[in-house]
Amino acid sequence: MLGLAKKDFTLLAVVVGLTLLAPFILNPFPEGSGMAQFNAGYPDLMQRFVIFGIFAIGFNILFGLTGYLSFGHAAFLGVGSYAAIWMMKLVTTNVIPAMILAIIVAGAFALLVGFITLRRSGIYFSILTLAFAQMSYALAYSVLTPITGGETGLQLKLNDPRILDSALVGGDQARANLFGVNMSSSYEMSVGGWLFTFNAGYYIAAIVMILAFYMAIRIFRSPFGLMLRAVKSNQQRMNFTGLNSRPYTLAAFVISGMYAGLAGGLMVAMDTQVGPERMFWTASGEVVLMTILGGAGTLIGPVLGAGMIKYMENIISKINSTILHQWFAWMPDGLEDFVVAVIYPFIGKGWHLTLGIIFMLVVIFLPGGLVEGGQRIAGLFRRKKTADETSTTPAE
Amino acid sequence: MDAIVLQILNGLDKGSAYALIALGLTLIFGTLGVVNFAHGALFMIGAFCAVTLSRIINWSYTTISETEKNFLGEPLEVQVPYVHDWFGVAAGNTLIDWAVPLAILFSIPIMLAVGYIMERGLIKHFYSRPHADQILVTFGLAIVLQEVIKYFYGANPIPTPAPEVFAGSFDFGAMLGFDPNTIIYPYWRLVYFAFAAVIIGAVFAFLQFTTFGMVVRAGMADRETVGLLGINIDKRFTIMFGIAAAVAGLAGVMYAPINSPNYHMGMDFLVLSFVVVVVGGMGSLPGAVLAGFLLGILESFASMAAVLDVLPGLNQIIIYLVAIIILLTRPRGLMGRKGVMED
Amino acid sequence: MSKSNFTRRGVLKSGAVAGAGVALPTIFTASSAAAYMNEPTGGSVTLGFNVPQTGPYADEGADELRAYKLAVEHLNGGGDGGMMNTFSSKALQGNGILGKKVEYVTGDTQTKSDAARASAKSMIEKDGAVMITGGSSSGVAVAVQALCQEAGIIFMAGLTHSNDTTGKDRKANGFRHFFNSYMSGAALAPVLEKMYGNDRKAYHLTADYNWGYTTEEAVKSSTEAMGWETVNAVKTPLTQTDFSSYIAPVLQSGADVLVLNHYGGNMVNSLTNAVQFGLRDKEVNGKNFEIVVPLYSRLMAKGAGANVKGIFGSTNWHWSLTDEGSKAFVRSFGEKYGFPPSQAAHTTYVQTLLYADACERAGTHNPCGVAEALEGFEFDGLGNGPTLYRAEDHQCFKDVLVVKGKENPTSEFDLLEIVEVTPAEQVTYAPDHPQMGGADASLGTCNDGA
């Protein structure tokens, strides 16, 4: 169906189901309960899950298939974001043109960077991409301030031209929209103690991610994808057979740059603001970590990795000592203080520590990333271990 | 002219820090084939060895001042270091003053131990894993190490001055016949340069002139063959990891007076030291040192006001620009070996 | 589709839960349930404290958080009441805000605008915060302020010193108590003239981003106005850690004053490097070489250690002030935490009190009502003398402190001494001042999210 093998179609269906039902799945705890702290089903975080999911899917097309480890992918995300916000400032606040321009500009930039950096391989390639990204970051932060807004970045202003849009009336704000549907508008549904939020922006981003995921499956299963895997397993042998591998790797690089640009454009569409930190090397490193954490070369892994890191960043960092005391209030005083003191270094301002420990634990015990963890759990239930036949097996 | 001489001095000084860190990193790359993202953290731990020793020497007990008041109007608590009681005020203060140089001795066993534990406890299991896994695990380790330091020492930089005798600067201008005060350079930075030269020389001598070094070099060139000769190369590599950690740590100790140490100083240096190593060429120790000095000098020139007037923002990108140019003209960096980390 | 732009979880969380316990799904649009964004309907009101908890400014953020917790305690009637007792407005009762108990949520800005906005959004969307406050950099302040404007939430800026926050990027929903680059320049210049004369040659090193630009411009224009010459102004990358190659050429330029337009780690390192080079022991043009740091903070002074001794700068507030408000604040903060508060702690505490007071006076949490109550508000007793929250740009106008590094500190907190208190008139400027975005800068209109 849809040109997919049955296994892939099942995977796609699962992804579609999970993304569309995310407002329910991510809000398992009733409002007002102590565990509500762990709910992630609010619009901003759900949007970030799918946006970084797209970013990681795109990164994985390059890294997972060809083995080329780019350490500068955040540059394409940043460039896409800047393109999108300028589209919104100058032409229209409709998100479609902004996203299209983001993809085009990021793709063009990726073509330029890829053309230069793919002349080298291995760590030399990584450092070249890193160098381009760091230059983009440094220039956007400083001398390009007239174009990028520098440190404070760019936002929509009341006096932007927006030639296609009608003038704002009264106290209206310029807002990102899709033919009038506001990205930040939501329906809320309350069932019992639960509250579920259905946000227009999230569903638009989710549909884009599903399309991106579908495209990724097609690329993984295409002859082109096979060619990319050949690059990973043995580029030399491939070259000896008279095939020039460079056009294939360059195409993969540009596609993955366009995915990053799409993610950048979506970020602006959901939250109309761009800052240069988006291109700093830590942001490039983050997508590498997402992909490896989830499982490089697998289809679903990068999305899981992205979700994991964003969840830690947004949920764990918000737990403070007051909340801990509330949770453990039922314990005797001395014990409560002790338990809180033990947990405290790992939450709130200590969320980095928890993240670091998880990185280490996952890579030590689950060499294939979170996907391998999932497979092991599934294996426990299924008895019959057919792990290497499932569609989520690493490429190599 | 004097401006150029000055920037060459600056470049050598910056370069010596880059070269020291890159040297340690290359030892690990070259010998063990491991991408160590925790190397910056080792540098940071070195700097915090200096901080820790200075705190230990400053270990104090509290007395209540009769006359002075604190900010709440209560009697001021005055901290008196124990060393004042033990050695007298003058000798005690000298000891406190010399905390950073003393930390060199203090840090060597600590860094060797940290390196040994890291290699045996963690890195060892990652030799045969893909580089991506090595990155993830060492990056995780780097985060954990720096968060632990942050937990105990806070996020703010901690001033760790050099001994009083090294305060101020030396006037090269007057010596070389320029106007006085045109080419001055701080004594401590000159010490740092000399120290780096000694360490780099010692590492090279060790690898070049000892049997141990010879075996390690052979192992770097062809690990399998050396193993087949019945030599326990793994044990030697563990020791090399310890040495690399010690080199990074010493670079950190001596750097503490130049910039007040903080918990994220390792991350600040991490990317830069990778660029230096790769520009130098994978698997080449002289390449790493050479690239360190080259990038240091070019960075210094790019920060001159006269250059920035013509090319604003060049100081922001110079390192990366040079890296791109060198890697495009020389496929394996300055002195890289074929086939190391090329896939 | 509802007209609301953010969800109103706060509504449900704080009271409607009991009523919503029906089995059938009840779909409601927010506008029918609330008159404005995140209207507190239960017995409590939630404030969002968004401060850096990781990254280089984590210690500053920690101090801000301490002050916020203290402010919440005082607002809810706990502790000794701190500056509520000395505040000229007596609207606050110690029974929360408008009788609702004050609760708070915390988040980590990481000193990155993306992360700060994500954190602020989760406070608005998930926790139902009705006001966001905090931050310790101007990039974050501008980004979060714009978000609050879109969402219909009040933003009470924390530590942000760039002119832009209430200059070209000012917003109707955003308010700043902290001073700015222009004020630093205007306050410093007369003191520098008195100390160093009016025939000086200045060399600027400037952090290469917006805050650095506005500070350089402010200091340059006010020192040039009194006769100083600017020899050179060199931009340094934000990520720079070793400033030797920027500092070494200073003496060759013939300058006799070095102005370091740096903050945080940049400032700690550049000042440390400048002192290492022995600049302060030199004599140029027959005068002693001097260093100036336009924006000081105690935490930075602590990082630079002995290098700050005798160096002039400006600051928003310092715990050694002896007015009643400052004394009360230092006492309650010091008794709770054991050390004196920083200027970041002071400004965030004051902002929380000012917000609560404005709610009381307006009789509502509605951001537009609160904004109206803050606009043109004149008050005293919060540590900076008589202060005006100017209506045109939502900037506070108050005395600015010129300080210098203390020669003989008695403790690790006693690093700065106040040299002069520059009166507010001297640092006041027109709302359409060219350094503040000129005539183009506009607040827009207040947004309450309805």
Count of CB atoms situated within 10 Å of the CB of C322: 8
DSSP string, A303-354: HHHHHHHHHHHHHGGG--HHHHHHHTTTS-HHHHHHHHHHHGGGSGGGHHHH
pLDDT > 60? residue C25: no
CB contact under 8 A, A350 and B151: yes
Looking up residue C225, the CATH number of its domain turns out to be 3.40.50.2300
CA distance A142 to A163: 29
pLDDT > 90? residue C216: yes
What counts of helices (H) and strands (E) characterise chain C? 14, 18
Average of pLDDT values for C127-135? 92
Average of pLDDT values for A113-129? 92
CB-nearest to A185 from C4, C23, C58 is: C4
Contact C388, C377 (CB under 8 A): yes
Is residue A305 very low, low, confident or very high in pLDDT (cuts 50, 70, 90)? Answer: very high
Q: Identify whether residues C49 and C137 lie together within a single domain.
A: yes
* Residue B68 lies inside a defined structural domain of this protein: no
The single-letter DSSP state of residue C15 is I
Chain C residues in contact with B188 by the CB 8 A cut-off are 276
Chain C, nearest residue to B302 by Cα: C245
| Res C388: pLDDT | 95
Is residue A388 very low, low, confident or very high in pLDDT (cuts 50, 70, 90)? Answer: very low
| Res B67: pLDDT | 77
Q: Identify whether residues C15 and C162 lie together within a single domain.
A: yes
* Residue A241 lies inside a defined structural domain of this protein: yes
Report the domain count for chain A: 1
> A387: which 2 tokens?
């792990």
Convert the pLDDT of each residue in B164-211 to its tens digit: 888 888 888 777 777 777 788 899 999 999 999 999 999 999 988 998
Instruction: Report CA Rg, chain A.
Output: 22
CA distance A121 to B341: 9
CB-nearest to B156 from C249, C273, C303 is: C303
* Residue A289 lies inside a defined structural domain of this protein: no
Q: Identify whether residues C87 and C208 lie together within a single domain.
A: no
Residue C104's contacts (CB-CB under 8 Å, 6 or more residues apart) are: C46, C47, C48, C49, C68, C69, C72
Chain B residues in contact with C282 by the CB 8 A cut-off are 181
Convert the pLDDT of each residue in A269-298 to its tens digit: 999 999 999 999 999 999 999 999 999 889
Average of pLDDT values for A62-72? 92
Is residue C16 very low, low, confident or very high in pLDDT (cuts 50, 70, 90)? Answer: very low
Report the domain count for chain C: 2
A134 touches chain B (CB under 8 A): yes
pLDDT > 70? residue C31: no
How far, in Å, are A291, B220, B339 from residue A112 at the CA level?
A: 24, 36, 26
Chain A residues in contact with C62 by the CB 8 A cut-off are 349
| Res C18: pLDDT | 37
Most confident region among A231-235, A327-331, A349-353, C186-190 by mean pLDDT? C186-190
Interhelix angle A301-315/A351-365, rounded to 10 degrees, is 150
CB-nearest to B316 from C237, C246, C330 is: C237
CB contact under 8 A, B321 and A116: no
| Res C155: pLDDT | 96
pLDDT > 50? residue A396: no
Provide the whole-model pTM. Answer: 0.90
* Residue C37 lies inside a defined structural domain of this protein: yes
3-state secondary structure A246-283: HHHHHHHHHHHHHHHHHHHHHHHHHCCEECHHHHCHHH
Q: Identify whether residues C96 and C28 lie together within a single domain.
A: yes
A142 touches chain B (CB under 8 A): yes
CB contact under 8 A, C150 and A42: no
Q: Identify whether residues C171 and C25 lie together within a single domain.
A: yes
Subunits that touch chain B (at least 3 Cβ pairs < 8 angstroms)? Answer: A, C
CB-nearest to A350 from B147, B317, B327 is: B147
Average of pLDDT values for B96-119? 92
pLDDT > 90? residue A241: no
Q: Identify whether residues C197 and C246 lie together within a single domain.
A: yes
Q: Identify whether residues C196 and C251 lie together within a single domain.
A: yes
CB contact under 8 A, A189 and C125: no
To the nearest whole angstrom, how far is the Cα of B229 from the nearest Cα of chain C? Answer: 47
Count of CB atoms situated within 10 Å of the CB of C244: 26
Chain C residues in contact with A39 by the CB 8 A cut-off are 126
CB-nearest to B275 from A69, A127, A143 is: A127
> C20: which 2 tokens?
């919503």
* Residue C82 lies inside a defined structural domain of this protein: yes
Chain C residues in contact with A32 by the CB 8 A cut-off are 13, 17
CB contact under 8 A, B299 and C302: no
| Res B136: pLDDT | 85
Mutate to test the interface with C, among A145, A190, A346, A353 (most CBs of C within 10 A): A190
* Residue C449 lies inside a defined structural domain of this protein: no
Contact B99, B54 (CB under 8 A): yes
CA distance C158 to B83: 43
Report the domain count for chain B: 1
Q: Identify whether residues C169 and C253 lie together within a single domain.
A: no
Is residue B343 very low, low, confident or very high in pLDDT (cuts 50, 70, 90)? Answer: low
* Residue C405 lies inside a defined structural domain of this protein: no
To the nearest whole angstrom, how far is the Cα of A348 from the nearest Cα of chain B? Answer: 13
Its domain, for residue A69, covers 39-277
- Alpha carbon B295 to chain centroid, angstroms: 16
Q: Identify whether residues C230 and C114 lie together within a single domain.
A: no
Pairing of strands C377-379, C387-389: antiparallel
Chain A residues in contact with B316 by the CB 8 A cut-off are 135, 138-139, 141-143
* Residue C214 lies inside a defined structural domain of this protein: yes
Q: Identify whether residues C154 and C246 lie together within a single domain.
A: no
Chain A, nearest residue to C6 by Cα: A184
* Residue A301 lies inside a defined structural domain of this protein: no
Instruction: Report CA Rg, chain B.
Output: 22
Mutate to test the interface with C, among A199, A349, A351, A355 (most CBs of C within 10 A): A349
Average of pLDDT values for A96-113? 96
How far, in Å, are A46, C28, C123, C159 from residue A195 at the CA level?
A: 15, 11, 16, 35
pLDDT > 80? residue A391: no
Its domain, for residue C240, covers 182-315+416-427
CA distance B172 to C278: 13
- State the average pLDDT for chain C: 88
Q: Identify whether residues C278 and C393 lie together within a single domain.
A: no
Chain B, residues 131-160, CB within 8 A of chain C, namely 150, 154-159
Q: Identify whether residues C286 and C166 lie together within a single domain.
A: no
pLDDT > 90? residue A368: no
CB-nearest to A182 from C5, C21, C209 is: C5
* Residue C410 lies inside a defined structural domain of this protein: no
Percentage of chain B beyond pLDDT 90 is 41
Tell me the helix, strand and coil percentages in chain A, rounded to 5: 70, 5, 25
How far, in Å, are A90, C279, C321, C403 from residue C416 at the CA level?
A: 48, 21, 11, 6
CA distance C349 to A317: 22
Place of tokens 């350079």: B185
pLDDT > 70? residue A392: no
* Residue A346 lies inside a defined structural domain of this protein: no
Its domain, for residue B245, covers 2-56+107-329
**Choice between C177 and C265, residue whose per-residue pLDDT is larger:** C177
Chain C, residues 47-76, CB within 8 A of chain B, namely 55-59, 62
CB contact under 8 A, A171 and C444: yes
Chain A, residues 274-303, CB within 8 A of chain B, namely 281-282, 285, 288-289, 292-293, 296
* Residue A394 lies inside a defined structural domain of this protein: no
Chain B residues in contact with C318 by the CB 8 A cut-off are none
Average of pLDDT values for B298-313? 89
**Choice between B166 and A208, residue whose per-residue pLDDT is larger:** A208
Average of pLDDT values for B2-6? 84
Average of pLDDT values for C349-362? 95
Percentage of chain C beyond pLDDT 70 is 92
pLDDT > 80? residue C17: no
